[in-house]
Chains A and B, each alone.
Chain A
């Protein structure tokens, strides 16, 4: 009887709209869990285990090394320059594509993602082609004694390129979903463009923005490929933490390599916690902006 079958299904399969059989479900969840433990969680544990394999003293000693210290400082400097710049650029980009209608708008939205689908190594090589000694601007730069490639400015540029999409990508869907009624209300109440940005838009998007900034920062500190191409690996001058880890590893200083790596891994964990929190708050932000139909 069709009626009783429906009832049976309703009683015993309340949570599955997909109709997957239990075996399928268990297999899928199981394989995701195995993958997660084997390829993500275990390596993370190993990083910390290796970092302390020669004891706490050796771990501390790694950070007494001036080259290590310099790589940490340089990583922070590059992040401190590129993250604020990309935050401003990201807000401007998200504002433009969600607030204005113009020719080429959808192309621009697609191109915002360019750094995500171009290999970072290619990004680095592009900068060498433009700013390197044999590059387009090479002769002019040499004349004016400006060093970009194999120097910190080039590393900042490469980082800017690689980390550009994160803020804009985080904001565009949020700003699209929120709409701009509050901004229009502010306009009718006499606010100018800056006042609308500071008093209305930024408070509306602050958690979504923080989410983008956190991801941007994580990538800026962890970036290897693009930065590696333009850095020249000059110890104490153009080595960031990821590059320094590679050098230490290649010199068989495993404990030191993993000690520095553990700092980066720790950063990743903190990022993950902050990101989850920002993500949750961004969702609240979105929900609060939705009109309610209650009396």
Chain B
């Protein structure tokens, strides 16, 4: 699904987090929002997700050409993965992933065997077969992150939004998960946006990189374009060119 961000501004108290941001994302793209902490990249992701609402001017969010600005996070059919996983610690892995089915009205809820099949498939996709009965606290960080992925994917979202998905993991696990994300994206072509402050991560994984600083987009382009033609001092400086 294509995503269009049009003239979005967002203030927290008196501090501007985003000022007049516009961005077009094509269907099936894998996009990195890259910038230092406090740049507004996470806020932009949360506005796209519907977890944060932009200041009421003429800002809009379009999914596939349709205005979703007034829709809730769930109605936008966007899967969201949080930086520290935000797993439900009192539920086992199976129930965490099944959550989006459990909260459906009975008339819309798939049968237990359909849910079981779906979750078996997801566990296979994230390489966690046999972990159904474990509690989140009994898993490593990398395993928790994969449960969070599976949970976000359970109800077949049309967009995947990831907030610093590998930020809390050690270098080795991080590399594996990066490769996994790239392969997963290549096989599903699910439109994906992820936030990171790590340029290696952005350049290695993303089709296009969006550089953000001080609540505004500084440059958008493929990793090669950005590296070869930094648009301004901030980009050159941030990338260490």
Least Cβ–Cβ distance between B96 and chain A, in angstroms: 9
Contact of B82 among A184, A190, A293, A294 (CB under 8 A): A184
Known: A185-B80, A188-B49. A291 touches B151 (CB 8 A): no
Flag whether A1 is at the interface (Cβ < 8 A). no
Instruction: Report B21-57 residues with CB < 8 Å from chain A CB.
Output: 49-51
Number of interface residues of B (CB under 8 A): 36
Flag whether B137 is at the interface (Cβ < 8 A). yes
Chain B contact residues: over half helix, strand or loop, or mixed? loop
- Which segment of B60-68, B165-173, B191-199, B225-233 sits at the interface? B165-173
Contact of A189 among B84, B89, B90, B155 (CB under 8 A): B155
Which A residue sits closest to B154, measured CB to CB? A189
Flag whether B74 is at the interface (Cβ < 8 A). yes
Q: By CB atoms of chain B within 10 A, which of A185, A189, A288 has the most?
A: A189
Flag whether A187 is at the interface (Cβ < 8 A). yes
Which A residue sits closest to B173, measured CB to CB? A295
Contact of B90 among A181, A190, A204 (CB under 8 A): A204
Q: Interface readout for A183-203 with B: 1 if CB under 8 Å, 0 if not?
A: 011111111100100011001
Inter-subunit contact A191/B99 (CB<8 Å): yes
What residues on A are CB-neighbors of B50 within 8 Å? Answer: 188
Flag whether B73 is at the interface (Cβ < 8 A). yes
Inter-subunit contact B86/A184 (CB<8 Å): yes
Known: A200-B88, A288-B137, A293-B168. A187 touches B173 (CB 8 A): no
Known: A181-B86, A200-B88. A190 touches B51 (CB 8 A): no
| Interface footprint category on A | 20 to 34
Inter-subunit contact A189/B100 (CB<8 Å): yes
Instruction: Report B132-150 residues with CB < 8 Å from chain A CB.
Output: 137, 140-142
Instruction: Report A161-200 residues with CB < 8 Å from chain B CB.
Output: 181-182, 184-192, 195, 199-200
Inter-subunit contact B103/A189 (CB<8 Å): yes
Instruction: Report B65-122 residues with CB < 8 Å from chain A CB.
Output: 72-74, 78-80, 82-90, 99-100, 102-104
Once the chains are docked, how many angstroms separate the CA of A185 from the CA of B140? Answer: 20
What residues on A are CB-neighbors of B89 within 8 Å? Answer: 182, 204, 288-289
Q: Besides A199-B88, A203-B88, A292-B141, 10 other CB < 8 A contacts?
A: A181-B86, A186-B99, A189-B100, A189-B154, A190-B74, A191-B103, A289-B89, A291-B84, A295-B169, A295-B170
What are the 4 closest A-B residue pairs judged by CB atoms, nearest first? A291-B84, A181-B86, A189-B100, A185-B86
Sample (14) of A-B pairs whose CB atoms are under 8 Å apart: A182-B86, A185-B82, A188-B73, A189-B99, A189-B103, A189-B152, A191-B74, A191-B99, A199-B88, A203-B90, A204-B89, A288-B89, A292-B141, A295-B173
